[in-house]
Chains A and B, each alone.
Chain A
Amino acid sequence: MIHSLFLINCTGDIFLEKHWKSVVSQSVCDYFFEAQEKAVDVENVPPVISTPHHYLISIYRDKIFFVSVIQTEVPPLFVIEFLHRVADTFQDYFGECSETAIKDNVVIVYELLEEMLDNGFPLATESNILKELIKPPTILRSVVNSITGSSNVGDTLPTGQLSNIPWRRAGVKYTNNEAYFDVIEEIDAIIDKSAALHNVCYTLDKVLSVFFCCFFFFKLSGIPDLSLSFMNPRLLDDVSFHPCIRFKRWESERVLSFIPPDGNFRLISYRVSSQNLVAIPVYVKHMISFKENSSSGRFDVTIGPKQNMGKTVEGVVMTVHMPKAVLNMNLTSTQGSYTFDPVTKVLTWDVGKITPQKLPNLKGIVNLQSGAPKPEENPSLNIQFKIQQLAISGLKVNRLDMYGEKYKPFKGVKYITKAGKFQVRT
C-alpha cells in the first residue's frame, strides 16, 4: 500500500525518507514541488497527486509535508489518516512534531516508522503498544543510554498486541491512581452579516454546528473497567468513539463503558443537535467600511459577553485577514494589544478577559493603497475564546464507576467551552 514516505519542510528540503518496499527515487517529489508551486498557498496543495507511475498522497502538518508514495489503488483516506497518525505519534514522542525534533531523534523516528508499517500496511499504530516497543526519549534515559549503551527498544512483545485490548499496555502501575477528564466543547459557527449587524442575539439558523470532545487523562493501575454516565445523554446527537468503548452498551443504555488506554487520549467526540443549542456566549458589534475613492477606511469592533452566562469569557483573540489593498492600520484598543502584519495582512487583537462593565473595543483608521479600488468584501472576523467551568451544551458527567480493580482512584472533571471555527461575517 504505502510505498515510501518523504518528509519535506517548507523550503522544499527532503529531510527524511523511508521506504517499505523497494526504493523510490527522490525525484518523484518533483511532481509534488510542481503542484506546490502551482498552489501558491500551502493549504491548497492537492492531497492527492497523480504522476505517471505513482500517486502521491500528502498531508501538511506543523510546517512539514508528509508525502507518501502509492503505487496501487488504496482508499486515500486510509493513507491520509495513517499519515496523521504518524504525525500524532511524533507529537506524542517528542512533544512536538517539528523538523528539528525529527532530525534530533532520527533513529527513533526510523524505528517507529518501521514498527508502524510492514510492507506498507499498518502494523502497530496504538501509542500504548509503540511505547512498549520503543521507549520514548527522556533526558534521564538518554543519559543512561549513553553511559551504559543500553537501548531504548523494548525487548518483550507488547502484550497488548495479543490481547483483546490492544490500546492498553499491560502491567501498568501507579502509586497514585487518578482519572481526570476534560470535557472540551468547541463551538463552530458562522455568524452572518445580517445577524451580526442588528443585534446581540444571534438567530439559530445563522449558527452552524457545535462540536465537542471529551479528552481523558488516566493514570490507573491494572486493568480497570470504567463506566461513565452522563446526566443528559440525550443531548448527544452524533458521537464517535475511541475503539475501547463498548458500542452495545452505549446503544442500549447510553453509558460509556470501557477499559481505558493508559495516558492521554480522546474518549469520544460528540456533536449536539442544533435544536438543543443554547446561546452563543459572545457577541460582536462591528463597523468596517471603506470609502470610495479615498485611501482610507474605518474600523470599529466591540466584543461583548452574553449576559446569561455568569462565567467570564477569557483568552479572547480576534484575527482578521484584511484585504490586500490595506497598507497599514492605525488603531487604538481599550483593552489588550493588537498587531498588524503588513505582509500577510493579518490583524491580530489579543483581548484577554472580557469584563461586562467595560467592553473591549478596537477602532481606528485603515490606510489603503492609494489608487487601488475599494475592497469589495469586508473581512471576516475569526474569534477565539475560552470559558472555564462551563459546558455550553449543558452536558454533565453523572458518575464514573470503576470495576475490576480494588483501589479507589482520584477523579476529576473539568469543563471548558472554547471557540472552534468561529467566524463572524461582516
Chain B
Amino acid sequence: RHDDLKEMLDSNKDSLKLEAMKRIVAMIARGKNASDLFPAVVKNVACKNIEVKKLVYVYLVRYAEEQQDLALLSISTFQRGLKDPNQLIRASALRVLSSIRVPIIVPIMMLAIKEAASDMSPYVRKTAAHAIPKLYSLDSDQKDQLIEVIEKLLADKTTLVAGSVVMAFEEVCPERIDLIHKNYRKLCNLLIDVEEWGQVVIINMLTRYARTQFLSPNQNESLLEESAEKAFYGSDEEDAKDAKAEAASLAKRKPYVMDPDHRLLLRNTKPLLQSRNAAVVMAVAQLYFHLAPKAEVGVIAKALVRLLRSHSEVQYVVLQNVATMSIKRRGMFEPYLKSFYIRSTDPTQIKILKLEVLTNLANETNISTILREFQTYIRSMDKDFVAATIQAIGRCATNIGKVRDTCLNGLVQLLSNRDELVVAESVVVIKKLLQMQPAQHSEIIKHMAKLTDNIQVPMARASILWLIGEYCEHVPKIAPDVLRKMAKSFTNEEDIVKLQVINLAAKLYLTNSKQSKLLTQYVLNLAKYDQNYDIRDRARFIRQLIVPTEKSGALNKYAKKLFLAQKPAPILESSFKDRDHFQLGSLSHLLNAKAVGYQELPGWPDEAPDPSVRNVEVPEWTKCTSREKRKEKVEKPFYSDSEGESGPTESADSEPESVSEESESSSSEGTSSSGSEEEEEGSGDQSEDKEEEEKRKKKKEKEAPRKASLESAGRKGRGETSSEEASASESSSSDSESGSEVQESPAEVEAKQRKAPASTKPSPRANAVGPKEISLLDLDDFTPPPPQPVPTSSIVSTSLVTDLEGLTLTDTSLAPAVSDPISPCIPPGISHILPADHLNPCCPQQQAPHQCMPQGTPWVLQLSWRRLSPRLGWVLPTGKAPAGCWGRGASPVLSESLAPGDTASVVMGIDFCDSTQAANFQLCTHTRHFYVSIQPPVGELMAPVFMSENEFKKEQGKLTGMSEITEKLTLPEKCRSDHAIVQQVTSAANVGRVPCGADNEYR
C-alpha cells in the first residue's frame, strides 16, 4: 500500500514530494490512516522546499504521538531551527517541536521554551507562550518551571504576547492570582490593542482577579436597602431604635470608594463593547455584570442587543445570558423589549429563549403589550413554541397580580382549542394558577372536569384530577361522577393519571364518603393489582390511612388533615433563576452544570486586599530619586505654611491629602478636584468631584472643536490611547507611593538635595533651570519652591508659564492652520511632539531660548526615564532619533543635556519610574514601533506627553481635570487651572500676574 507515495517521497524532485505530501494530507483530512508512511515522510523534515516542509510538519504533528521512536529522528532538525536567524523559522520550529506529543523530549521542550521566552522577537515569545500549555498537558510535573516562564512572559510589554500568555496562565496555574498583581495595570492598559481572542481570555481572567482584589461596588447599596427594609417593617419602638443604630453604623462606615484599579479596568474595557467580535462583547458584558456598580451596568444592554442580529448560534448564547441578566437587572433591557419580539422564521430554540426574556421583562407597565404579543404567538404553527408561550403566560400571571384574571380567561379560552397539546398545556398552567385563588373559579373547574372525556395527554388529565380532588368541595356534584368515569377506564390510564385517580378517590372518601365509598374501594382494589409497584404501594398506603380499622387508629384521625391541608401555590420561576452563580458567558453557565476546568467566580472580599501589591517595583537604582520626590511633596505643605498664602488644604497634613488625591485622580478617569478647597472636602466624596468633572468636560467639549481639529492633524496610531491611560495610571501610583513615604523623609534634607542638583549644574543656564523646572512641572502646585532665592523662584514661575504657553503652542502649531500669532514658537512645539528622543536638541536652535528651555528640560526628564527604565538601553531611541531632522542636529546636545537631566530627573521622577515603569515601556514600544515601521507620527507622540504632564498636575490636585480625554485639553482650561494653582499656592505677585497674561493671550 502507498508504495507509489513512498516512491514519490524518496525522489529528488520537490514537485513529486509536494504532490505526495498533498495526497497524504488529503488522506489525513478525510480521517484515513496514513501512519505507515511515517518513515518515508519523516525523512523529508529537512527538505528545503518550504511547502513540503510545512506539510511534513502537519503530518508529524498528527502521527508523532503514535510513532514516538521514529519521531525522534526529526528532533534535531527542529533544534537547528530554533537557532535560525529568521524569526519565522524559529517560531515554527518551536511550534512543531512542542506539538509532537512525545514525552521523551520534555526536557528539550522545556529548554526551548525557556530560550524562546527571552527571544528578541515578540512573535517567537508568543509561540513560547503557546507552547507552555502543550508541555504542561504532556508532563504536569514541569508546572513549577513553567510558572516561572509564565511569570517572565507576563511581564512582557508587547500586545502580541499578552493574550497568549494569559491563556497559558489560565491553563497552567489559574490559581496563582498573585502573578497578576504586578501586571494588572499593564494588562488593563494594553487590553485595547491586544488581538481579539486574547482580549476575551484576558477579560475573563481579570474578572476573576477583580473579584478577589476589590470590594463590591454595590455593598453600600445593599446595606442601605437592608436598613430601609428594616425600618419599614419594624413598627415597634425597638425596631426603630434598631434602625437608628443601623443608620448610625452606616454613617460610621467608611463610604465606599472604588479602588482606582477597579475603575481602570472598567474604563479600559468599555470601548471593547464596540468590538465586532461577539465573544469580546460578551466578555465585557459579563465583566460589567459581575464587577460594575449597578448604575453602570446598563451600558452593556445595547451591545448585547446588537449581537442579536448575528448568526443564530450567537443569538442562542447571547439570549441565554440575557435571560440570566434580565432576572437580576430587569430595567437594563426594558428599553429593548421590542428587540426580543419573535419572528415566525426564528428557529424554535431561539424563540423559546426570547420568550423567556420577554417573560422576565414583563412588569405592570408593559404587560399589556407583552400579552398582545403572546396572543400572536399562541397561533403559531410551531407547537413546542406555543406550549412554551402558554407557560410564559402562566408565569406572567403569577408574577403580576393585575393581569391574573385576564390571563386565566385567555387560557380557559384555549381549552377549546383544537390542538390537544395546546389544551393540555393550558390545563397544566391553569391548575397552577387556580391554586392561588381556588374559591372564585369553580366554574373553570367544572369546565375542566368536562374535558376529561376528551383530553388524552396524561399530564393534563392528571392535573384535572388533582384539581377536582383538591377542590372537591367547590364541585360536590361533579367530583364523584368524574371518579366514576375514571374508575371505569382506570386500567388503561397512564401511571401518573392512576396515581391521581387514587388521590382523588381518597380525598372524596374523606369528604363525601357516602357517595364514593364503594368507588374508592373499587379503585383501590384495582390499584392493588397494578403492574406498577409505585401504584400498588400508594394504594396500600392510602387504604391504611383512610379506611378505619382497629389497628390504624391514630393516623386515621388525621387523614383528613393530611389530605386536605392547604397547599401553597407553586411559584413559577424562570429556569434561569439560579444560573448567575456561574460566570456569565461561560460554558458552564450555558449548560447550567460545571464544566471541566471551570474556575469559580469568587465572591467579593469583605476587606480589600492590599492594593499596593499592584504597584510596580522600584528598580534599585532609582530608589534615591524617589525619595527626593517625596521630599518635594513634603515641601509643598511646609512652604505654603510658612508663606501663609496657600489654602487650608496645603496646611493640612500632607499625607492624607496626597492619598485622597490619588484615589480621586486615578479612580474616575481623571476626576480631579478643581481647587484645593474642593479637595479637602472631597477626599471621600467622589461623586461631587465627578460631577464637577463632568461639568468641566462639557465645557471642554464646547471649546473642544477647535482643538480637536488641531489635534486631529497630528494624531496617529492607536497606541496613543493606551499610552495615555498608562501614564495616568502610572502617575497615580506614583502619587500613592509618594504619599506613603512622605513622612519618612524630613523636608529639610530634601530641600537641600534639591538645591544641590540645581547648583551643581552651573554651565548652561538652561540646564540649571532645568531641574527646577522639572520639579515644577511635576508638582505643579508647588510653583515656587521656597528654598530657592526669590529671583530664581520668579524665574521658575515664569518658566512655568512659558511652559504652559509652550504646551498650548504645540497644540496650535500642530494644526494645519498656523495662522496663530504664536507661529514663531512652532519649533518648540515640534520638540514637544517628538518628546522623548528629540526634545533637548530643540533648545539650542530655538529662537526664544528662554521659553524653550523650560519646555525642553522637563521633557528631557521624561525621556531619560524612559530610556533608563526599560533595560533596552539607549541605543534604540537614540539610534532612531536621527530620523527626525531635529534630532540629528541635536544629538550631541541631547546626550549632554541628558546627563544633567538624568540626574535631575532621577531626583524628580523616581516615583514615576516605579509606578510608571510598565506604562513607560508601553510608550516606548509604541514609539519604537512607529519609528521602525512608519514614519514617526508627530501627533501621536504628542498626546501621551501631554497626558503625563496633565496627570501629574492632576495628581497634585491643583489642576483641574485634564482628564483622560487627552485630546480635549484646551488652552483656556490649562491656563485657567494653572492660574488657579498659582494663586492658591503662591502669593508671589509676579507669578500670579504672568499666568494671567498668558491666560488672556491664549484665549
Which residue of A152, A247, A252, A403 is within 8 Å of B274 (Cβ)? Answer: A247
Whether A106 lies near B26 (C-beta < 8 A) is yes
B719 within 8 A of A: yes
Which residue of B303, B419, B929 is within 8 Å of A164 (Cβ)? Answer: B929
Distance (whole angstroms) from the CB of A358 to the closest CB of chain B: 30
Whether B193 lies near A164 (C-beta < 8 A) is yes
Whether A423 lies near B345 (C-beta < 8 A) is yes
Query: If A73-B595, A77-B278 touch, does A26 touch B31 (CB 8 Å cutoff)?
Result: yes
Q: How far is the CA of A125 from the CA of B277 in the complex (A)?
A: 12
B12-44 residues at the A interface, CB under 8 angstroms: 13-15, 18, 22, 25-26, 28-31
Q: How far is the CA of A239 from the CA of B271 in the complex (A)?
A: 11
In this complex, the member of B15, B311, B588 whose beta carbon has the largest number of chain A beta carbons within 10 angstroms is: B311
Distance (whole angstroms) from the CB of A60 to the closest CB of chain B: 8
Whether B30 lies near A43 (C-beta < 8 A) is no
Residues of A close to B598: CB separation below 8 A: 73
Stretch at the interface among B376-384, B634-642, B801-809, B819-827: B376-384
Q: How far is the CA of A374 from the CA of B18 in the complex (A)?
A: 65
Please give me the residue from chain A that is nearest to B89 by CB atom: A157
A34 within 8 A of B: no
Residues of B close to A386: CB separation below 8 A: none
Render A78-89 as a binary contact track against B, CB cut-off 8 A, 1 for contact.
101110100000
Query: If A164-B193, A190-B343, A373-B418 touch, does A241 touch B160 (CB 8 Å cutoff)?
Result: no
Residues of A close to B146: CB separation below 8 A: none
B588-613 residues at the A interface, CB under 8 angstroms: 588, 590-591, 593, 595-599
Residues of A close to B167: CB separation below 8 A: 1, 121
A182-227 residues at the B interface, CB under 8 angstroms: 188, 190, 192-193, 205, 208-209, 211, 223, 225, 227
In this complex, the member of A50, A75, A243 whose beta carbon has the largest number of chain B beta carbons within 10 angstroms is: A75
Query: If A50-B593, A110-B25 touch, does A75 touch B283 (CB 8 Å cutoff)?
Result: yes
Whether B195 lies near A238 (C-beta < 8 A) is no
Distance (whole angstroms) from the CB of B88 to the closest CB of chain A: 4
Render B312-350 as a binary contact track against A, CB cut-off 8 A, 1 for contact.
111011100000000000000000001101011101110
Whether B54 lies near A111 (C-beta < 8 A) is yes
Whether A107 lies near B26 (C-beta < 8 A) is yes
Residues of A close to B218: CB separation below 8 A: none
Query: If A41-B348, A106-B29, A208-B339 touch, does A151 touch B51 (CB 8 Å cutoff)?
Result: yes
Q: How far is the CA of A175 from the CA of B746 in the complex (A)?
A: 69
Please give me the residue from chain A that is nearest to B270 by CB atom: A247
Whether A77 lies near B312 (C-beta < 8 A) is no
B696-722 residues at the A interface, CB under 8 angstroms: 704, 708, 712, 715-721
Render A320-359 as a binary contact track against B, CB cut-off 8 A, 1 for contact.
0101100000000000000000000000000000000000
Q: How far is the CA of A122 from the CA of B312 in the complex (A)?
A: 22
B867 within 8 A of A: no
Whether B338 lies near A208 (C-beta < 8 A) is yes
Q: How far is the CA of A106 from the CA of B52 in the complex (A)?
A: 15
B885 within 8 A of A: no
Query: If A41-B347, A71-B596, A80-B314 touch, does A377 touch B381 (CB 8 Å cutoff)?
Result: yes
Whether B347 lies near A114 (C-beta < 8 A) is no
B968 within 8 A of A: yes
Count, chain B residues at interface, CB 8 A: 118
Render B178-201 as a binary contact track against A, CB cut-off 8 A, 1 for contact.
000000000000001101110010
Whether A163 lies near B929 (C-beta < 8 A) is yes
Residues of B close to A271: CB separation below 8 A: 306
Residues of B close to A246: CB separation below 8 A: 715, 718, 721
Which residue of A77, A190, A241, A251 is within 8 Å of B314 (Cβ)? Answer: A77
B309 within 8 A of A: yes
Q: How far is the CA of A211 from the CA of B380 in the complex (A)?
A: 26
A295 within 8 A of B: no
B650 within 8 A of A: no
A224-247 residues at the B interface, CB under 8 angstroms: 225, 227, 237-243, 246-247
Distance (whole angstroms) from the CB of B519 to the closest CB of chain A: 37
B754 within 8 A of A: no
Residues of B close to A376: CB separation below 8 A: 379, 418-419
Whether A379 lies near B306 (C-beta < 8 A) is no
Distance (whole angstroms) from the CB of B414 to the closest CB of chain A: 11
Residues of B close to A50: CB separation below 8 A: 591, 593
Stretch at the interface among B129-137, B387-395, B435-443, B986-994: B129-137
Please give me the residue from chain B that is nearest to A246 by CB atom: B718
Which residue of A15, A74, A118, A404 is within 8 Å of B30 (Cβ)? Answer: A15
Whether B712 lies near A48 (C-beta < 8 A) is no
Q: How far is the CA of A376 from the CA of B586 in the complex (A)?
A: 40
Whether A122 lies near B197 (C-beta < 8 A) is yes
In this complex, the member of A266, A375, A376 whose beta carbon has the largest number of chain B beta carbons within 10 angstroms is: A376
Which residue of B121, B312, B314 is within 8 Å of A43 (Cβ)? Answer: B312
Whether B344 lies near A321 (C-beta < 8 A) is yes
A421 within 8 A of B: yes
Render B259-286 as a binary contact track against A, CB cut-off 8 A, 1 for contact.
0000000000001001111110111000
Which residue of A61, A75, A109, A208 is within 8 Å of B587 (Cβ)? Answer: A75
Q: How far is the CA of A1 from the CA of B926 in the complex (A)?
A: 31
B967 within 8 A of A: yes
In this complex, the member of B52, B309, B704, B720 whose beta carbon has the largest number of chain A beta carbons within 10 angstroms is: B309
B8 within 8 A of A: no
Please report whether the interface of chain B is mostly helix, strand, loop or mixed according to DSSP: helix
Whether B338 lies near A43 (C-beta < 8 A) is no
Render A397-426 as a binary contact track against B, CB cut-off 8 A, 1 for contact.
000000110000000000000001101010
Distance (whole angstroms) from the CB of B91 to the closest CB of chain A: 8
Please give me the residue from chain A that is nearest to B418 by CB atom: A373
Q: How far is the CA of A77 from the CA of B284 in the complex (A)?
A: 12
Render B944-969 as a binary contact track against A, CB cut-off 8 A, 1 for contact.
00000000000000000000010110
Query: If A121-B164, A239-B274, A240-B274 touch, does A75 touch B719 (CB 8 Å cutoff)?
Result: no
Residues of B close to A247: CB separation below 8 A: 192, 271, 274, 718, 721
Which residue of A153, A205, A266 is within 8 Å of B276 (Cβ)? Answer: A266
Whether B595 lies near A72 (C-beta < 8 A) is yes
Residues of A close to B595: CB separation below 8 A: 55, 72-73
Whether B275 lies near A241 (C-beta < 8 A) is yes
Stretch at the interface among A17-25, A282-290, A296-304: A17-25
Distance (whole angstroms) from the CB of B680 to the closest CB of chain A: 32
Please give me the residue from chain B that is nearest to A323 by CB atom: B381
Residues of B close to A242: CB separation below 8 A: 276
Whether B134 lies near A81 (C-beta < 8 A) is no
Distance (whole angstroms) from the CB of B339 to the closest CB of chain A: 6
Residues of B close to A241: CB separation below 8 A: 274-276
Whether A243 lies near B276 (C-beta < 8 A) is yes
A123 within 8 A of B: yes
Q: A-contacting residues of B (Cβ < 8 Å)?
A: 13-15, 18, 22, 25-26, 28-31, 49-52, 54-55, 57-58, 62, 65, 86-88, 91, 95, 98-99, 101, 121-123, 127, 130-131, 133-134, 137, 159-160, 164, 167, 171, 192-193, 195-197, 200, 204, 271, 274-279, 281-283, 302-303, 305-306, 309, 311-314, 316-318, 338-339, 341, 343-345, 347-349, 376, 379-381, 418-419, 585-588, 590-591, 593, 595-599, 704, 708, 712, 715-721, 926, 929-930, 933-935, 965, 967-968
Pairs of residues from A and B, 5 with the lowest C-beta to C-beta distance, nearest first: A149-B15, A151-B51, A72-B597, A43-B347, A157-B88
18 A-B pairs with CB atoms under 8 Å apart are A14-B31, A21-B101, A50-B593, A55-B591, A73-B595, A75-B586, A75-B587, A76-B586, A119-B131, A148-B15, A151-B51, A161-B160, A164-B159, A188-B309, A209-B338, A257-B715, A376-B419, A380-B345
Q: B-contacting residues of A (Cβ < 8 Å)?
A: 1, 14-19, 21-23, 26, 41, 43-44, 46-48, 50, 55, 58-61, 70-78, 80-82, 84, 106-107, 109-111, 114, 118-119, 121-123, 125, 148-149, 151-153, 155-157, 159, 161-164, 166, 188, 190, 192-193, 205, 208-209, 211, 223, 225, 227, 237-243, 246-249, 251-253, 255, 257, 266, 269, 271, 321, 323-324, 373, 375-377, 379-380, 382, 403-404, 420-421, 423, 425
